[in-house]
Amino acid sequence: MQAPGDNVDAADPLIAPVGKFDAEIDRLFSASGPLAPAVGSFSPRRSQTEMAKAIAQAIAGQETLIAEAGTGTGKTFAYLVPALLWGGKTIVSTGTKNLQDQLFLRDIPTVRAALRAPVSVALLKGRSNYVCHYHLERTMQNGRMTSRDDIGHLREISRFIKMTNSGDKAELAKVPENATIWNLVTSTRDTCMGAECQYYQDCFVMKARREAQQADVVVVNHHLFFADVALKDTGVAELLPSANTIIFDEAHQLPDTATLFFGQTVSTSQILELCRDVLAEGLAHARGGVDWAKVVTVVEKAARDLRLTFPQDVVRMSLAQITPSSDFFPALATLKEQLAAMVEVLEDQAARAETIEQVRVRAVELAAALDGWTAAGKGKLAEGKEFDDAVLWVEAFSSSLQLHKTPLSIAPIFNNQREGTPRTWIFTSATLAVKNDFKHFSDQMGLGGEPAKTWPSPFDYEQQGLLYVPTGLPDPNAMGYTDAVVDCALPVIEAAGGRTFFLCTTIRAVKHVAERLRQEFADRGLEYPLFVQGERGRTELLDSFRSAGNAVLVGSQSFWEGVDVRGDALSLVIIDKLPFAPPDDPVLAARIDVMEKQGKNGFMHHTLPEAIINLKQGAGRLIRDETDRGVLMICDPRLISKSYGKRVWQSLPPFKRTRLQADVIAFFKPPAAD
């Protein structure tokens, strides 16, 4: 992995003095360097070059670096260049599968070609992304198709498997990523046959893992990385011992992702799915002597009864909030008893077939997860030492109930993962700091004391953008607030000629805003295409928005980040409220409770920094290029009226600021001809 024109030994980064890195990086990122002809729009950016030097230095010293790079810095190239030249075995983990594909298919090949770096690269995703030969064949023989779409999709997948080298469902555009058929033709950790499978040698999951083992650079995503740390089922565990450099892009997502995987969840849906598989395998391989329908039915009924202990459609509450007289506690005890009885039957029959042994293992694991919720009498659950640093809570959906055990802090768990072999850890994102303070992120991840640096955006925000906080809006909790926001936004949308992202903090607000805008556009004769989250897939909505050129897109959390619309198609970003987490979130409530027992202010130390980082992501949708111009309209009056408001807007890009609608209208007027 030798840099062109350089005799540094790439295999041993410690040989290269820091000054040597600086001179080489200056050359690579210069206007006459190899990156310029490889990237049509490339121009030297001081922030990008300095960031690359800091990452090269961290690689040389096997150090940790927290690196915030403002929008437009070009952080991807800033970490890829030193990683490909001096990083040794490198794992790059991204926030989403879309970004993962972009890195693997576009960014890394571009940099690798420009540097003539002889590195091999592999893409590794979770097993649910790869078609499984065994489950495809089984589904084609006795599939439980629920729609005509499923049948057509199955036909496409059976053609695809004969032509693909990777088996990655992202390559098959004809079948939507969220099509139900994928569940029947992919494996899970529970349903994989492993080395016993007749297709083991052809398995796409195993092939991807073998390629990752041999590659110099492996691209994964955060879900995969932390699922592996928790479950040891993604192939990352096999890569970690040999990795010299680990880079987390979109690192602001890590606390939430790690919390998800370091916790434990068991759901009634998992139990019902297990019951379906037990019935199918029992009837297929062990009909005699066991009434499989009876064994399964009592467990299914107990799981459904547990769900029905919460009458509402959507519930999130901690264990402490469940009243002692609730039916939840006896229903949970019944489910555990019936599941234990099914485990006994499966143990008696497991020798009949490998697939019965598989469902037995799944049943034992689910029973063990439920055992974590141990009754202590009087309608309460025992919270032993293992729960001292976790919160137990339930979440009800229309057809399932989830029981969660969530760690209050992932810092000690993540620190355990980082101990041992010295290696480089890079955490980078456009949004890691609150007013140049990294304490919130570093405390969450257990990175206290590690170096953290910010490189500013090259954009001229004062000339390119305007921050508008309108006057006269009611308190965000007031009745009719969303209507007031729409009334305030309509003249601005009209002045912008559409070209708007309307970002809401709740799905309910998305629906209401969309209804109002649809009616108002019709009444006023405004021919702006209206795209609404949920009506079509995210990628399709964005493609349509870009091509329309004068559209309005209404969305919630999934459009606040990871969305890149450059040019005139997006000139106005409206945010309805400051994105504070819901106050009834049981995990947030438990974390704040712990903080306040430690003498800290939960709002200032946790809730506010989280909201600011989220808001910075939403604001970051507006200016994506040196030539972009636009208005960021934040409707929440608390930005001005509350004492913490100053801390919020000082964390945003340094736009010009106004509270006058006339300034916004003038901003959008074309310059007068000379």
**Residues 497 and 604 grouped into a single domain:** yes
CB 654 within 8 A of CB 464: no
Is residue 4 in some structural domain? no
**Residues 400 and 467 grouped into a single domain:** no
Question: Stretch 139-165: mean pLDDT, rounded?
Answer: 85
Q: What is the CATH number of the domain that holds 633?
A: 3.40.50.300
CB 93 within 8 A of CB 249: yes
Dihedral of CA atoms 593, 596, 598, 603 in degrees, nearest 10, equals 110
Chain-centre distance of CA 146, in angstroms?
29
The pLDDT of residue 177 is 79
Residue 580 φ then ψ, to 5°? -75, 145
Is residue 451 in some structural domain? no
Q: Which has the higher per-residue pLDDT, 562 or 247? A: 247
The pLDDT of residue 175 is 87
User: Which helix (H) or strand (E) is 541 found in, with range?
Assistant: helix 538-548
Residue 462 φ then ψ, to 5°? -65, -35
The pLDDT of residue 19 is 61
Closest CA to 653 of 461, 503, 470, 464: 461
Q: Is the pLDDT of residue 240 over 90?
A: no
The pLDDT of residue 379 is 39
The pLDDT of residue 192 is 83
User: Mean pLDDT lowest for which of 10-14, 50-54, 244-248, 622-626?
Assistant: 10-14
Q: How far apart are CA 342 and CA 634, in angstroms?
A: 55
Q: Is the pLDDT of residue 45 over 60?
A: yes
User: Mean pLDDT lowest for which of 216-230, 328-342, 598-612?
Assistant: 216-230
Question: Stretch 366-370: mean pLDDT, rounded?
Answer: 91
Chain-centre distance of CA 107, in angstroms?
20
Mean pLDDT score of the chain, rounded to an integer? 88
Domain final position from 362, 383, 407: 407
Would you place residue 143 in the very low, low, confident or very high pLDDT band (cuts 50, 70, 90)? low
The pLDDT of residue 324 is 81
Cβ neighbour number for residue 333 with a 10 Å cutoff = 16
Q: Is the pLDDT of residue 351 over 90?
A: no
CB 647 within 8 A of CB 612: yes
CA distances from 13 to 79, 422, 428 (A): 15, 13, 21
* Range from 86-100, 394-408, 490-504, 582-596 that averages highest in pLDDT: 490-504
Q: How far apart are CA 297 and CA 305, in angstroms?
A: 12
Q: Is the pLDDT of residue 239 over 80?
A: no
How many C-alpha atoms does 5 have within 13 Å on its Cβ side?
A: 11
Question: Stretch 226-235: mean pLDDT, rounded?
Answer: 65
Give bridge partners of residue 567 from the DSSP assignment.
none
Would you place residue 21 in the very low, low, confident or very high pLDDT band (cuts 50, 70, 90)? confident
Angle (CA) 237 242 243, round 5°: 85
Would you place residue 420 in the very low, low, confident or very high pLDDT band (cuts 50, 70, 90)? confident
**Residues 369 and 476 grouped into a single domain:** no
**Residues 270 and 369 grouped into a single domain:** yes
Q: Structure tokens of 613?
A: 């980082």
* Range from 7-11, 594-598, 631-635 that averages highest in pLDDT: 631-635
Give bridge partners of residue 69 from the DSSP assignment.
455
DSSP letters spanning 237-303: HHHGGG-SEEEESSGGGHHHHHHHHHSEEEEHHHHHHHHHHHHHHHHHH--TT--HHHHHHHHHHHH
Is residue 575 in some structural domain? yes
The pLDDT of residue 381 is 44
**Residues 632 and 535 grouped into a single domain:** yes
* Range from 343-357, 502-516, 593-607 that averages highest in pLDDT: 502-516
**Residues 466 and 334 grouped into a single domain:** no
Would you place residue 387 in the very low, low, confident or very high pLDDT band (cuts 50, 70, 90)? very low
Q: Which amino acid is at 215?
A: A
Return the SS3 of 102: helix
Give bridge partners of residue 532 from the DSSP assignment.
554
Is residue 46 in some structural domain? no
**Residues 403 and 465 grouped into a single domain:** no
Is residue 369 in some structural domain? yes
**Residues 486 and 400 grouped into a single domain:** no
Residue 236 φ then ψ, to 5°? -65, -35
Would you place residue 486 in the very low, low, confident or very high pLDDT band (cuts 50, 70, 90)? very high
Question: Stretch 401-418: mean pLDDT, rounded?
Answer: 88
Percentage of residues in the chain with pLDDT exceeding 70? 92
User: Domain span at residue 309?
Assistant: 264-407
> Sheet harboring 315-318: ordered strands across?
264-267, 401-407, 390-396, 315-318
215-237 exposure pattern, b = at least 16 Cβ within 10 A, e = fewer: bbbbbbbbbbbbbbbbeebbbbe
Classify residue 527 as exposed, middle or buried by CB count within 10 Å of its CB (0-12, 13-18, 19+): exposed
* Range from 142-151, 397-406, 516-525 that averages highest in pLDDT: 516-525
pLDDT in tens, 52-84: 999 999 999 999 999 999 998 999 999 999 999
DSSP letters spanning 293-330: HHHHHHHHHHHHHHHTTS-SSSEEEEGGGS-TT-THHH
Q: Is the pLDDT of residue 13 over 50?
A: no
Q: Is the pLDDT of residue 230 over 70?
A: no
Would you place residue 4 in the very low, low, confident or very high pLDDT band (cuts 50, 70, 90)? very low
Residue 571 φ then ψ, to 5°? -130, -5
The label of the residue with tokens 């004068």 reads: 550
**Domain count within the chain:** 2
Question: Stretch 362-376: mean pLDDT, rounded?
Answer: 81
How many C-alpha atoms does 291 have within 13 Å on its Cβ side?
A: 4
User: Mean pLDDT lowest for which of 471-480, 538-547, 572-581?
Assistant: 538-547
Percentage of residues in the chain with pLDDT exceeding 90? 58
Q: Is the pLDDT of residue 537 over 60?
A: yes
The pLDDT of residue 224 is 86
Q: Which has the higher per-residue pLDDT, 595 or 383? A: 595
**Residues 544 and 650 grouped into a single domain:** yes
**Residues 488 and 341 grouped into a single domain:** no
CA distances from 540 to 176, 544, 546, 572, 618 (A): 11, 6, 10, 20, 20
Is residue 604 in some structural domain? yes
The pLDDT of residue 388 is 56
Q: Is the pLDDT of residue 1 over 50?
A: no
Q: Is the pLDDT of residue 6 over 50?
A: no
The pLDDT of residue 91 is 95
Q: How far apart are CA 29 and CA 25, in angstroms?
A: 6
Classify residue 282 as exposed, middle or buried by CB count within 10 Å of its CB (0-12, 13-18, 19+): buried
3-state secondary structure string across 39-61: CCCCCCCHHHHHHHHHHHHHHHC
The label of the residue with tokens 């000139």 reads: 571
**Residues 300 and 386 grouped into a single domain:** yes
* Range from 390-399, 413-422, 424-433, 529-538 that averages highest in pLDDT: 424-433
Q: Which amino acid is at 492?
A: V
Is residue 555 in some structural domain? yes
Q: Which has the higher per-residue pLDDT, 329 or 41? A: 329
The pLDDT of residue 217 is 96
Is residue 52 in some structural domain? no
Q: Is the pLDDT of residue 399 over 70?
A: yes
The pLDDT of residue 376 is 46
Q: Which has the higher per-residue pLDDT, 413 or 428? A: 428
Q: Structure tokens of 636?
A: 């929440």
User: Mean pLDDT lowest for which of 120-134, 387-401, 413-427, 461-475?
Assistant: 387-401
**Residues 617 and 471 grouped into a single domain:** yes
